[in-house]
Amino acid sequence: MRFATWNVNSIRTRVDRVIAFLERSGTDVLAMQEIKCRPDQFPTEAFEEAGYHVAIHGLNQWNGVAVASRLPILDVQDHFPTQPAFGEPPVVEARALGVTIDTTDTLPSEDRQASSMTIWSLYVPNGRELTHAHYAYKLEWLANLAEQGRGWLTDPSALIALVGDWNVAPMDEDVWDMSAFEGATHVSAPEREAFAAFAADGWVEVTRERVTNYTYWDYQKLRFPKNEGMRIDFAYCSPALAARVSGAQIDRDERKGKGASDHVPVIVDVD
């Protein structure tokens, strides 16, 4: 099977591109971030016509996450336990959606038995500035997710993927010029330590060893033509799932053309 993650930066604006990507790439499950709409505003019909079930979590025109799956959806969680709130009054934002997929039909008939996989579509807070309350919120958000993740990993057979826009560039090579990020978010030591904590807990980031490229290019200052990008979209898998990963791709071409998102899909193949 093939799953992917993509910050679509408004699903209503880019639904045609997303459906075309699904059909062209043969993606079975797509985790989306920044859908920027409520469930009643989501273009569900277009996905259903293309053969996908959809789970959606959006509260307003900001943030929002969704999962589209050709495989049956068994369960949906619209936040992770202890997910922190932000704002005044505090709100648990639409930044995490856990969807359990029935993968039985992807197995050869002779090996077929009840099997499922859980994919979390994650839109990690940006952080804004190192002195901003949003930065502290970002670190708390990642720490609380890691805490939950340690509990999920107590089942060695669990097939779980934590995918999405992490808003962290974990290595210097993940930005075009480190000097341009001096004193900025995404590359600070606390953010990188928060990201690395998942690997320390046993999660396996399955894309880096298989593909090298950026996943995001700002719309401003001709960042894409100059290839001045960032790698901030990742796929952390549980050990049992990571052992089944056979390949990964970054679809850079999706940043080209009219109406592109500023992010591109990150694709993972699983045997």
Pairing of strands 245-250, 266-270: antiparallel
CB 39 within 8 A of CB 58: yes
48 is in an annotated binding site: no
**34 annotated ligand-binding residue:** yes
Ligand-binding site membership of 57 (annotated): no
Distances in whole angstroms, Cα of residue 204 to Cα of each of 103, 182, 241: 21, 28, 9
- Residues linked to residue 53 through DSSP beta bridges, in sequence order: 69
Residue 4: phi, psi to the nearest 5? -145, 160
Q: Is 91 helix (H, G, I), strand (E, B) or coil?
A: strand
- H or E element, residue 199: helix 189-201
Rounded Cα–Cα distance for residues 105 and 113 (Å): 9
9 is in an annotated binding site: no
- How is residue 12 written in tokens? 């209503």
Task: Name the residues annotated as catalytic.
Answer: 123, 165, 263
β-pairing, 233-237 vs 160-165, is antiparallel
Query: Residue 152 phi/psi, 5° resolution?
Result: -65, -30
Whole-angstrom distance, CA of residue 11 vs CA of residue 168 = 23
Decide if 219 contacts 226 (C-beta within 8 A).
no
Q: Consult the annotation and say whether 93 binds a ligand.
A: no
Q: Is 233 labeled as ligand-binding? A: no
CA 9 vs. chain centroid, Å, equals 12
Helix (H) or strand (E) holding 23: helix 11-25
Could you tell me if 152 and 238 are in contact, meaning their C-beta atoms sit under 8 angstroms apart? Answer: yes
Binding region for Mg(2+): 7, 34, 165, 167, 262-263
Binding region: 7, 34, 165, 167, 262-263
